[in-house]
Amino acid sequence: MAKKDNQNARQIDLTSFEFVRACGACHPGGGPAEYDRTGARYDAYAADPANHIEPGGENGFDGDYFRSRWRETGVLEADCLLCHMPSYDHGARNAQIAMLNFKWAATAGAGFARVTGGVADGRVPKTSYDRTVFLPDGTVALHLVREVPSRNCLSCHREPDWKKKGASYSTRTDVHLRAGLRCVDCHVTGRKAADTRIRGREIHETGKGDDPTGLVRDDLDNTMRTCRDCHMEGLLKAPVPLHRGLPPRHLEKIACQTCHIPQRQVKAALLQDSTVFNTTPRITASGKRIWTFYGPAMEPWNLYGEASAFTAERQPLHVYEPVRAWYKGRIHPLNRIYSIWVGLLAEDGKTLHQPFMKDLFMMWKSHLEDPVRRYPELALIRDDNADGAQEIDRPEEIRGFLKAVTEHLRAQGEPLEERRAVLVSGPEYTSDGAAWNPLPFAPQPWEYTPYASVFKLNHDIAPAAQALGTGGCTDCHGSSAGFWTRPVMARPFTGVDAQPVFVENAALLGLSPVGTAMSGFRHEILIPVLFYGVFGAFACLVLVLVAYGLGVHRGVGETFTTDPEMRLHLGIIGVALLGPAVLLVGEALLSSEIIGVLGRLHTAVGILFVLAVLRAGAGSRRPRGANVVSAAAGILFMAATGSLLLVADSMEIRQIVFTFHDIGAVTLCSLAGLLIVAKIFRGARR
């Protein structure tokens, strides 16, 4: 937005008047669409001769009145019917805004009258009222609802959300819409709200979530209903899942959406390049050609062209896995946007501004009209990766581009005495294409750069049968699982052929290749061997006892209680049975809550067993055989790795330590089982 006070037209970008014209379709009016920054109503202030406001004039370079026509257009008052009238015609309202008939927009949208003529065409709007909607006394009888229909919400939110987040808002992709839920069931307001920050009849604040880069009313973050409110507490009679076989830590560290949004089906932007001229078709607003977008697979995407071809109900299909990253202590599915743009860096190296996009557009436009005499350096820029879109990546391209930008800005009167043009790419900038420096502000772990957007994904929830984990732990922990291996773009254009560099999603989560390898090995090989190995060893032990032990040789049975070595090995198998056995059975039968209880029991029994072994070892004077010493060493190893798992919070450490812990369990149980069987056979022979 343009500042309120400016010295010349050069300093003015988007004025308040242009904001209403360009963005009023999705804003309900009131606030900056009705009042200026001093609190005066635009049309009343402009109509007062004492203020000397001329329609379309420079008006003292005031950002609220520069080249405005408030006196003729009127203002956009707050329109309650925009949300609360089910039959509201948003298309009719938007048409009036496009014709600069701000004051008449609500009348047309509500269907009170037919409006002809437009300020944009130099005609005074005329209204022909529909008498059927009026009562004899001149009042209107309206069908209004307290709870806003989802159709009215989506008239504004649907189109920007599929571009930014890949949100479809359709019954085909969202289990909640399929079940008949409405926006207001989660985005509660008024007396239905549970959060005291928004609860109240006249507060009129709507429950909201928490977007990483959203700055609007951050004080009201997370005032909406959450997944847990319904699916853990049973609100709205929602099914309460047991999450069978899922360790409780998963529910603490992983957002529900991470598993229940296994894929997106609508294309969303991954990269926004604001440096080259976009020549793709169907871009009706020529000024938007200064932006080039890339889709989820890092292929050029004619976003503005497709926006004019697709409708809000028919978005571009593109199936892909979302990126998963840490945000405020939990793993969330995100759409992270990478940005490339021109910055104006101050001499202090800390202050970074952006030139007006209109300047870059005019620079490119004049070059394309006369490429030989106007900024010939731009001719150096080529499509090095042959993907159909130019990119500025080679040092000679960067130097030529920045030279052209500097020359054009100086010609426009932009003060550059204490600033220089730089190319910003993600978290870095360069002034020559050779040396890259970090931006003054470091990005958060979940974002590419603090100068681009990050969107959490919350809609298009898949049914439970399609969620991650329904195929077992390897859905995420497998060596080839997308949870780890999904390619994440790290740098967009590198090398002589300007190819993107990708890293695995595991790196974004803080997991090294060693950690992912350990995770795959543990869940694909080690855990099945451990689980079924322990059960197999236990079954074999029972068979041996039946065949050779208790029933025939009473002395063998007594050794289970009298022989310390036998008790030691049985204790090892018993503790293991309380660990792997619990998980094996629990994966199909036990809820996450019970798994947590049994996991704590495994820990408690393990601790008691270690203490008993230490006490027995300290009090015994008998010589210790190799079997006892090796078993004791193994138990201490298990105790050490188990203790580390109790305190470690790092995903990397936990994946590695868990693997070694299970390797120790397999080894100990195997040795213990073999030694017990051997001892039984020896006793049977005696």
Distance CA 366, CA 338 (A): 28
The answer to whether 400 touches 381, Cβ cutoff 8 Å, is: yes
- Contact predicate 126/116, CB 8 Å: yes
How far apart CA 456 and CA 326 sit, in angstroms, is 11
Residue-level pLDDT at 599: 82
| Secondary structure, 3-state, 578-620 | HHHHHHHHHCCCCCHHHHHHHHHHHHHHHHHHHHHHHHHHHHC
State the burial class of residue 275 (Cβ atoms within 10 Å of its Cβ: 0-12, 13-18, 19+). Answer: buried
**CB-facing half-sphere around the CA of 517: CA atoms within 13 A:** 3
Whether residue 386 is predicted with pLDDT greater than 60 in this model: the reply is: yes
Comparing 124-138, 350-364, 524-538, 648-662, the range with the smallest average pLDDT is 524-538
Q: For residue range 160-190, what is the model confidence (pLDDT) as tens digits? A: 888 889 999 999 899 999 999 999 999 998 8
User: H/E element holding 160?
Assistant: helix 150-165
Measured distance CA(359)–CA(353) in Å, rounded: 14
Q: Which amino acid is at 385?
A: N
Query: 141: number of CA atoms within 13 Å, CB side?
Result: 7
Burial of 247 (0-12, 13-18, 19+ CB in 10 A): middle
Residue 158, amino acid: R
Task: Specify the pLDDT at position 215.
Answer: 85
Integer Cα distance of 50 and 41 in angstroms: 15
Flag whether pLDDT at 553 surpasses 50: no
**pLDDT recorded at residue 560:** 53
- Residue 57: CB atoms within 10 A of its CB come to 13
Report the alpha-carbon distance of residue 251 to residue 84 in Å, rounded.
Answer: 37
The residue with tokens 């990050």 is 454
Please choose, from the candidates 389, 416, 356, 322, the residue with its C-alpha nearest in 3D space to the C-alpha of residue 15.
356
Domain ranges for the chain, please list them.
Answer: 513-685
From 79-88, 212-221, 666-675, the region with the lowest mean pLDDT: 666-675
How far apart (Å, rounded) are the C-alpha atoms in residues 566 and 679?
Answer: 8
- pLDDT of residue 552 exceeding 50, the answer is no
pTM of the model: 0.90
Distance of alpha carbon 275 from alpha carbon 411, whole angstroms: 19
With CA atoms as reference, report the closest residue to 250 among 593, 507, 600, 580: 593
pLDDT exceeds cutoff 70 at 512: yes
Mean pLDDT of the chain: 89
pLDDT at 327 over 70: yes
